[in-house]
Amino acid sequence: MEPLPLAVHADLTALDPPGRNDAAHVDASDGELVLQAREGNRDAFALLLERHRRLVLGLCLRILGNLPDAQDAAQETFLRLFRSLNRLDTTRPCRPWLCRVAINVCRDLHGRRPTLVVDLEDATDRAETGRTPHEAMLLTQKRELLSRALMELPFRERAAVVLRDVEGLETEEVAEILGSSVGTIRTQACRGRQKLTALVGRLIGRQT
Amino acid sequence: MNCEEVRNDLASRPEHSGDPVSHRDEHLQTCRECRVFEGELDAVLEALQDLGREELSQAALDALSARVQTRLSQERPAHGNRFLHWAAVLGSAAVLAGSMLLLYTPGPSVPAREAHEKSASNSSHETSSIPTDAISARIPAGPKGPAVRPVKRHRHRRSPLQNRVRHAVIHTPDPEDEARPIRLAAMVTVDQIEGRGMIYQLVDR
Q: What is the pLDDT of residue A127?
A: 52
What is the predicted ipTM? 0.74
The letter for the amino acid at A90 is T
| Rounded distance between C-alpha atoms, residue A41 and residue B72, angstroms | 12
In this predicted structure, the answer to whether residue A184 has a pLDDT above a threshold of 90 is yes
Which residues in chain B touch residue A167, judged by CB atoms under 8 angstroms apart? 52
Side-chain-facing half-sphere of A9: CA atoms under 13 Å? 5
Which helix H or strand E contains B137, and what residues bound it? strand B136-138
Contact present, A160 and A183 (Cβ < 8 Å): no
Q: What is the pLDDT of residue A164?
A: 92
Contact present, A49 and B68 (Cβ < 8 Å): yes
Band of the pLDDT at A191, cuts 50, 70, 90? very high
Q: How far from each other are the two terminal CA atoms of chain B, in whole angstroms?
A: 107
Record: contact B68-A147, CB cut-off 8 A: no
The letter for the amino acid at B120 is A
Q: In the predicted model, what is the mean pLDDT of residues A74-89?
A: 91
B39 touching A (Cβ < 8 Å): no
Which residues in chain A touch residue B63, judged by CB atoms under 8 angstroms apart? 71
**Nearest residue on chain A to B77, judged by CA atoms?**
A40
DSSP state of B141: -
Record: contact A53-B57, CB cut-off 8 A: no
Percent of chain A exceeding pLDDT 70 equals 76
Helix (H, G, I), strand (E, B) or coil at B42: helix
Calculate ∠ Cα B190-B194-B198, nearest 5°.
65
Which residues in chain B touch residue A191, judged by CB atoms under 8 angstroms apart? 11
Residue B173's DSSP bridge partners are B181
Q: In the predicted model, what is the mean pLDDT of residues A155-170?
A: 92
Q: What is the pLDDT of residue B92?
A: 87
pTM of the model: 0.59
State how far residue A15 is from chain B, nearest Cα, in angstroms.
Answer: 27
Band of the pLDDT at A189, cuts 50, 70, 90? very high
CB count within 10 Å of CB B6 equals 23
Q: How many residues does chain A have?
A: 208
Q: What's the Cα-to-Cα distance from B151 to each of A7, A165, B24, B148, rounded to whole Å? A: 76, 77, 91, 8
Q: What is the pLDDT of residue A21?
A: 44
| Rounded distance between C-alpha atoms, residue A74 and residue A55, angstroms | 10
In this predicted structure, the answer to whether residue A52 has a pLDDT above a threshold of 50 is yes
Q: What is the pLDDT of residue A18?
A: 39
**Nearest residue on chain B to A188, judged by CA atoms?**
B12
Calculate ∠ Cα A195-A197-A203, nearest 5°.
100
B201 or A91, which is more confident? A91
Lowest mean pLDDT among A169-173, A186-190, B24-28, B188-192: B188-192
Q: What is the pLDDT of residue B3?
A: 86
Task: Identify the segments of chain B with pLDDT beneath 50.
Answer: 123-142, 145-146, 151, 197, 200-205
B77 touching A (Cβ < 8 Å): yes
Q: What is the pLDDT of residue A201?
A: 80
Q: What is the pLDDT of residue B195?
A: 53
Band of the pLDDT at A56, cuts 50, 70, 90? very high
- Residues with Cβ within 8 Å of B181's Cβ and at least 6 positions away in sequence, in order, are B125, B126, B136, B171, B172, B173, B174
Residue B138 backbone dihedrals phi, psi, to 5 degrees = -145, 135
pLDDT in tens, A26-40: 778 888 899 888 888
Which residues in chain B touch residue A131, judged by CB atoms under 8 angstroms apart? none
Q: What is the pLDDT of residue B81?
A: 56
In this predicted structure, the answer to whether residue A6 has a pLDDT above a threshold of 50 is no
Percent of chain A exceeding pLDDT 90 equals 36
Q: What is the pLDDT of residue A43?
A: 87
Record: contact A82-B78, CB cut-off 8 A: yes
A51 touching B (Cβ < 8 Å): no
Record: contact A193-B67, CB cut-off 8 A: no
Strands B165-173 and B136-138 come out as antiparallel
Q: What is the pLDDT of residue A133?
A: 74
Q: In the predicted model, what is the mean pLDDT of residues A169-175?
A: 91
In this predicted structure, the answer to whether residue A67 has a pLDDT above a threshold of 80 is yes
